[in-house]
Amino acid sequence: MTENTRANDRKPTPDPAEDNAFFPSPYSLSQYTAPTTDFDGIATEPGAYGGGRWKVLTIASEERYLLMQNETMFSTGNHPVETLLPLHHILQAGFEVEVATLTGAPTKFEWWAFPKEDQAVIKTWDALRTKFKSPKKLGDVIKDELGDDSDYLAVFIPGGHGAMFGLRESLDVQSVLDWALAKDKLIITLCHGPAAMLAASIGRASSPFAGYSMCAFPDAADAGANVDIGYLPGHMPWLLGAALQDDGITLANGDEMTGATTRDRGTCPRCVDTLSTG
């Protein structure tokens, strides 16, 4: 392989479905994707919480294209592993999962990252495919299902760059976050999913999450390596970590992708006893 060929491998791949839109480069996919995950089982006994009414609300992104600073578009969505593997744990523990998008439009996935040989991810996709293809409208969930006696124990916001567009500007997302905080429900998110937390400060002098600690995808990667290796076709329109910190949120994982997790607050005994071990 020539040096020129290796350099071309780092060029983002054009997405033929949209003008000036791109998938990640072949080289970046070789570094960031694999046919299987490192899933090694769930922490709870399978079905331990089955047979009850309790559900988890997944707020997924319906956005495909993220406009970059150089006017290219990143062909993105929800990351399949960062969506389906957490939901695999939740389903296997016995909880029901519902899916909602802002308008009820189908969920978008970064299908180029789907681990095609991973049975846990495949099983979860098969179980939830219809809900992702025909999700609920988030406003309808708020109106009809988030009362004082709601069946939802938790809100889950998946990872993937798709979360960077739409969720942070949504008053419906703000309403769900307000409800979760008021009712002491769990909010579970990862990677770029914490972008949704920025909706909590819309129209307010400060965020109700100010002083909280979270893990999020590091800005150092999105501003540096992800551009250099062609994972992104240009620089991000804004950086997640900086925006979270501007809202008074502490980043527990700093500038590194370490696989770290953190938990801040959440005192509902029923929620904690069930979901923290899932």
Q: According to the model, what pLDDT value does residue 263 have? A: 86
| 116 pLDDT above the threshold of 70 | yes
Q: Of the ranges 26-35, 71-80, 138-147, 265-274, which one carries the lowest mean pLDDT score?
A: 265-274
Q: According to the model, what pLDDT value does residue 130 have? A: 98
Q: Are strands 96-101 and 152-157 parallel, antiparallel or unpaired?
A: unpaired
pLDDT single digits (tens) 229-254: 999 999 999 999 999 999 999 998 87
| 153 pLDDT above the threshold of 60 | yes
Give the C-alpha separation, 208 to 202, whole Å: 10
pLDDT single digits (tens) 5-48: 555 799 999 999 999 999 999 999 999 999 999 988 887 777 77
- The residue-averaged pLDDT of 114-142 equals 97
Task: Tell me which H or E stretch contains 219.
Answer: helix 219-220
Q: According to the model, what pLDDT value does residue 247 have? A: 96
Judge contact between 235 and 227, C-beta under 8 A. yes
- 60: tokens are 């997924």
Q: According to the model, what pLDDT value does residue 42 have? A: 80
Q: Of the ranges 158-162, 187-191, 224-228, 264-268, which one carries the lowest mean pLDDT score?
A: 264-268
Residues contacting 207, CB < 8 A, separation 6+: 197, 198, 200, 201, 247, 248, 249
Q: According to the model, what pLDDT value does residue 277 have? A: 28
Amino acid at 263: R
Helix/strand/coil for 33: coil
Q: According to the model, what pLDDT value does residue 43 have? A: 74
**Where does the pLDDT of residue 256 fall: very low under 50, low under 70, confident under 90, or very high at 90 and above?**
confident
Chain centroid offset of residue 123 CA: 19
Q: According to the model, what pLDDT value does residue 276 have? A: 31
Q: According to the model, what pLDDT value does residue 274 have? A: 33
Q: Among residues of the chain, what percentage have pLDDT more than 70?
A: 92
| pTM assigned to the model | 0.91
Give catalytic status of residue 271 as yes or no: no
Q: Of the ranges 86-90, 173-177, 247-251, 273-277, which one carries the lowest mean pLDDT score?
A: 273-277
Q: According to the model, what pLDDT value does residue 269 have? A: 45
Q: According to the model, what pLDDT value does residue 121 have? A: 97
Task: Tell me which H or E stretch contains 251.
Answer: strand 250-251
Which position has the higher pLDDT, 196 or 274? 196
Q: Spell out where 15-68 has E strands.
A: 21-23, 55-59, 65-67
